[in-house]
Amino acid sequence: MHSLRMMVVLMAVGIALLVSSTGSALAGASTDSSGASTVNLTFIYNDLSILATEHLAPSDGNVLGNVTDIVSYLNSEGGLGGHQIKLTSYKMPSLTGSAASDHAACLAATENDHANIVLIGNAVDDTVAQCVAVQHKTLTIVGDGPALSIFQQADGRLFATGSNVAIDAQRLARVTASIAANGGYLKNKKVGVIVQGIPEDQSLVSGTLIPALTRLGHKPVAEATVPFPTGATTCSETAPAIQVMKQAGVQVIFLAAYDLCGVAVVTAAKQDDYQPQWITNSDNTTDTVSQFFAPVKDNWNGALGINESFPASTAAAKCVQEALVPKGLNYAPSSDAYGIATQTCIQLEDIGTALGKVGTTFSNQSMISALEAEKVQPTNGGPTGTWSASQHDAGDWVSLYRYSASAGKMLPISTNTVQVPCPCAP
């Protein structure tokens, strides 16, 4: 249930490193005058600064500057696994994305730049990762977890790491259902589901969330979809969806409508004098989106939120301190900008470790095996994650919150850290 639409501000912007899938050598790599191998690195990102300017989100810092300075620092320290890095970048043309722009980003990295390695950011549509890892058979690392089906189609070439947001969407949906059921929130209650009309979210709800609830003995008695036209910033026809819930006597609603769309659904409930228990996850649990719920805070009060984000850790602190601070990018450890910078360091260091193991000649499979061997994955916040032959999404933990109308945000529930069980991706 990752929402990467208009309000993608809640996910860290990451980068995508592409490793060539063809040949037994580092395809496209060159050597400099000293004989050192050079790796072509393409950085695909979304510039979210406009959202900070409009006070819709905290600043993500100088995203491109972060990557440029970290790569420069790593090159000065010997590069990635002994390889010098030649960096190119591609900025997505808009925040909302489109099939055409997603395809253009994929082609820019794989065909124009002939990248050896790419990291794709959390605020970039999953279809970019699918194009790169599946269609162009290139090893891809992302900051958050796409759908399990993309991991499976990628045949091992897709990895997610750097934070606990690096969890495939199906795992998050399953743990959301189990936390609600095991925590007693659904006992003797009629359950309903409202989902925004975006294909990925609809598929996730029908294929994972509802079956999970049914297996746990809480089959929804009502389901409703609120249309979300392509290019729109929010959904429509929320009042009819609320009527479906009321008429079925629903007492607990799983809200798979995010950001402005989620607010629109709760607004419709308030206008109809209907106050169910809300359960949600991902974007809707963040401080930024909590601000959007202010006009309906009394109806949203008590909402249960399952969140993959945690307070900043000290992982990659040395990298941030030595790569960015000398350049004037001295982010506060509690800031989103710091979290994004540490995620970038973690991802690049993972690639460097793998390149160091396989040397100058390698296949996709040898790189996959080397990455899978990096079993303990540091995160930019919260407990460490895991990589293995059966798990390529490193996020293993979620935290539990409850919305407080008086505080105007989600507040942590005591003993709020929950481990997310496998099966995992791929």
For residue 60, what is the domain's CATH number? 3.40.50.2300
Q: Measuring CA to CA, which residue among 391, 341, 354, 7 is closest to residue 167?
A: 391
Model confidence over 15-50: pLDDT tens digits? 333 333 333 334 445 555 444 588 888 899 887 777
Domain co-membership, 60 together with 15? yes
Domain co-membership, 272 together with 406? yes
Domain co-membership, 275 together with 406? yes
Segments forming the whole domain that contains residue 406: 170-307+397-419
| pLDDT at residue 29 in the model | 54
Domain co-membership, 246 together with 288? yes
| pLDDT at residue 17 in the model | 37
**In-domain check, residue 254:** yes
Domain co-membership, 13 together with 122? yes
* Residue ranges in the chain modelled with pLDDT below 70: 1-36, 51, 54-58, 95-97, 361-362, 415, 423-426
| pLDDT at residue 203 in the model | 93
> Structural domain tally of the chain?
2
Domain co-membership, 243 together with 143? no
Q: Looking at 217-373, which runs of residues are DSSP E strands?
A: 222-227, 252-256, 277-281, 304-307
Domain co-membership, 157 together with 179? no
Domain co-membership, 153 together with 202? no
For the entire predicted model, the pTM comes to 0.84
Measured distance between the N- and C-terminal CA atoms of the chain, rounded to whole angstroms: 18
Domain co-membership, 53 together with 159? yes
Domain co-membership, 375 together with 401? no
**In-domain check, residue 339:** yes
Domain co-membership, 267 together with 123? no
Domain co-membership, 43 together with 154? yes
| pLDDT at residue 62 in the model | 80
| pLDDT at residue 12 in the model | 29
**In-domain check, residue 425:** no
3-state DSSP: the chain helix, strand, coil percent, rounded to 5? Answer: 40, 25, 40
**In-domain check, residue 200:** yes
